[in-house]
Structure 1
Amino acid sequence: MALAGWDETRPLLVCPLCRADLQRRSDGLSCLDPECVHHAPSAFPVVGRWPVLVDFESSVVTRDSALSPEGRTDTGRSADGLPAPLRRLVKPLNHVAARNVELLLRALPGQKPRLLVVGGATVGNGVDAVYRDPNVQVIGFDIVTSPVTQFVADAHRIPLRSASVDAVLVQAVLEHVLDPSSVVAEIHRVLKDEGLVYSETPFLQQVHAGAHDFTRFTASGHRFLFRRFEEIASGPVAGPGTQLLWSMDHLVRGLTRNAVAGRAARAALFWLRALDRLVPADFALDDASALYFLGSKREREMSAGEIIAYYRGAQRSG
């Protein structure tokens, strides 16, 4: 696995609040700036091998939850209660992500480029190639510890130096943050000039992750979220058939009051997913289950007129 080591990651870390350098203390890390509130000893505790670089005053992450043994570790194990064959029907390989990640990897510059995974407690569906590529240094973080992350952080304040990474992967994360625009601004900040971003975000999906699910985006809304990026590719991750599967899953959950029953119904109706291939691209954009965006960093923002003209769905007049 191509995870960057601590010696490679440590020089990139900064205070999430003021972005000053960090210093090592016996019980954790703290900010070097004496005027910063995080200059105090143990401002950033270390849990196991993971420094917790969170400004708790501005985050939904609390110090207690970050340090609690019950709630701070993500092992990446499935908890849906279904046998492995049914799990594969419920959540098949994301071929769109696999294709786009290959595009991203081919576009990365030079030797040992750094790729940041935002919300990387588990290896995302279809992005395994990122972790297998020996030429890439993968840096990952999430609000919980994980074998595939180097630190704990809140994506609203990424504790990395500006212009320090060559690419960012943010898959199925932006719906779970309070302010997606602030997170994308942070992604823009930590990327080098012309750095790459790959994002997947739901459009028509029911609530998942309970209280930590906040936002959905249309294709135009998703594009405007990344308005300070040049588009390389974008489109549906999954279309109306997959969207219908989500609805059937949650309808059965509601009728039976049982999440496993809903997932079983999704597995039984797996063939609906094949209908995605029959829907023209413009109709799929208006009824997608999820959307992707692959782009490169730029300084100029899209204007209001540009985002209106950007619409490529089936409801164009004339």
Structure 2
Amino acid sequence: MVLAELDDIRPLLVCPRCRSELEADPAGTGVGTGALRCTAPDCAYHASPAFPDVAGAPVLVDFEHSVVRREAVAALASPAHVHRGADALPTPLRRIAKPPNRVAAVNVDLLLRALPGPAPTLLVVGGATVGNGVEAVYRDARVRVIGFDIVTSPATQFVADAHRIPLRSSSVDAVLVQAVLEHVLDPAQVVAEIHRVLRDDGLVYAETPFLQQVHAGAHDFTRFTASGHRYLFRRFEELSAGPVAGPGTQMLWSVDHLVRGLTRSALAGRATRAALFWLRGLDRLVPPDFAQDDASAVYFLGRRRDREMAEAEIIAYYRGAQGPS
């Protein structure tokens, strides 16, 4: 896995509250010894204790405006999040329960090919686990990968809340945000932050659920239609967009959760889902316009721009199978 060293990206890090530069916290508070503080004397995060460190990862969170609590910082180092669900299964079963995401693989290849220069910087938002189909990002030695999440991980360099990304404006060339926007309280604010940290003509690749049941429990908040997803990224030029998976996959989600509800057993639901894996194959038989209306998840690949899509444009944007009302 190719990740930028924390020391290499320190010049890009800023205070999540006021975006001032950071410096070592002389009080050395936190679980580790690399605690940081804001350099602005009038910022709330200048006085110690400021930003603690967990297992060598700085926790750059504005605790007053986040679901991450200062008193729970030590728990962020728990390894429990690294392998869960289908990821914990043996490889043959994992490929049935969670087949390779070919849509993501194709779009990530397009993104990597479009990145400028010899050493572009790519930010992974919510990168505690390596996403399905995006593995090429971590294999490309040309790309400097920065990752963060609200927990620590071997695939991240720091802990942060995506509503207040602790990076300088115009500091990265691309952003990857896969299966994350449903787990944030304010997706529009997160996308605004993505727009801020991207350089001019920077790229974004996003995947977000449309028709999926609740997952991640209390940390699951939002779903998007294809049109809603496009409007969320209204300050970006669209390069490609569409369903990640269609109604066959969506039916698998529904059957899984129906069985869970009837049996009160998540294991029974997952077993049923594995037995009916062939339903995913029906996605290939559904025309794109119908798949647009019934997608399990949707994606957007776009380029940063300053002009914002007008309200009337999103009505004309609709590509589904339902004609004008």
TM-score bucket of the superposed structures, by smaller chain: over 0.9
Say which SS state the counterpart of residue 52 (structure 2) adopts: strand
Tell me the residue number matched to 2:16: 16
* Structure 1 residue 64, shift from structure 2 partner: 2.3
Structure 1 residue aligned with 2:188, among 181, 184, 202?
A: 181
Tell me the residue number matched to 2:251: 244
Structure 1 residue aligned with 2:82, among 66, 76, 86?
A: 76
Tell me the residue number matched to 2:32: none
8 Å Cα contact 2:170-2:200 kept in structure 1 = yes
Residues 172-218 of structure 1 show CA distances to partners (whole Å, capped at 9, x for unaligned) of 00000000000000000000000000000000000000000000000
Matched, 1:61 2:68: yes
Matched, 1:39 2:78: no
* Structure 1 residue 76, shift from structure 2 partner: 2.2
8 Å Cα contact 2:171-2:199 kept in structure 1 = yes
Structure 1 residue aligned with 2:272, among 265, 270, 273?
A: 265
**Aligned partners of 2:47 and 2:60: how far apart in 1?**
13
Say which SS state the counterpart of residue 233 (structure 1) adopts: strand
8 Å Cα contact 1:29-1:41 kept in structure 2 = no
After alignment, is 251-260 or 286-295 more displaced?
251-260
**Aligned partners of 1:311 and 1:88: how far apart in 2?**
33
**Aligned partners of 2:256 and 2:225: how far apart in 1?**
22
**Aligned partners of 2:141 and 2:163: how far apart in 1?**
29
Output the amino acid matched with 1:224.
Y
TM (normalized to structure 1)?
Answer: 0.97
Gaps of 5+ in 1: none
Structure 2 residue aligned with 1:195, among 162, 185, 202?
A: 202
Say which SS state the counterpart of residue 37 (structure 1) adopts: coil
Tell me the residue number matched to 1:285: 292
* Structure 1 residue 74, shift from structure 2 partner: 5.3
Cα–Cα, structure 1 residues 79 and 316, in superposed 2: closer, same or farther, change >3 Å? closer
After alignment, is 58-67 or 112-121 more displaced?
58-67
* Structure 1 residue 316, shift from structure 2 partner: 1.9
* Structure 1 residue 73, shift from structure 2 partner: 3.9
Residues 230-266 of structure 1 show CA distances to partners (whole Å, capped at 9, x for unaligned) of 0000000000000000001001111111111111111
After alignment, is 257-266 or 213-222 more displaced?
257-266
Output the amino acid matched with 1:78.
R
Residues 19-55 of structure 1 show CA distances to partners (whole Å, capped at 9, x for unaligned) of 0000112411000000100001231001111000000
Output the amino acid matched with 1:105.
L
Cα–Cα, structure 1 residues 222 and 97, in superposed 2: closer, same or farther, change >3 Å? same
Structure 2 residue aligned with 1:150, among 145, 148, 157?
A: 157
8 Å Cα contact 2:25-2:50 kept in structure 1 = no
**Aligned partners of 1:138 and 1:302: how far apart in 2?**
30
Say which SS state the counterpart of residue 282 (structure 1) adopts: helix
Tell me the residue number matched to 2:179: 172
Output the amino acid matched with 1:9.
I
8 Å Cα contact 1:163-1:193 kept in structure 2 = yes
**Aligned partners of 1:227 and 1:68: how far apart in 2?**
37
TM (normalized to structure 2)?
Answer: 0.95
Output the amino acid matched with 1:223.
R
* Structure 1 residue 86, shift from structure 2 partner: 2.5
Tell me the residue number matched to 2:234: 227
Tell me the residue number matched to 1:122: 129
Tell me the residue number matched to 1:304: 311
* Structure 1 residue 296, shift from structure 2 partner: 0.3
**Aligned partners of 1:14 and 1:273: how far apart in 2?**
44
Gaps of 5+ in 2: 29-34
Matched, 1:30 2:32: no
Tell me the residue number matched to 2:120: 113
Residues 128-181 of structure 1 show CA distances to partners (whole Å, capped at 9, x for unaligned) of 000000000000000000001000000000000000000000000000000000
Identity, in percent, stands at 72
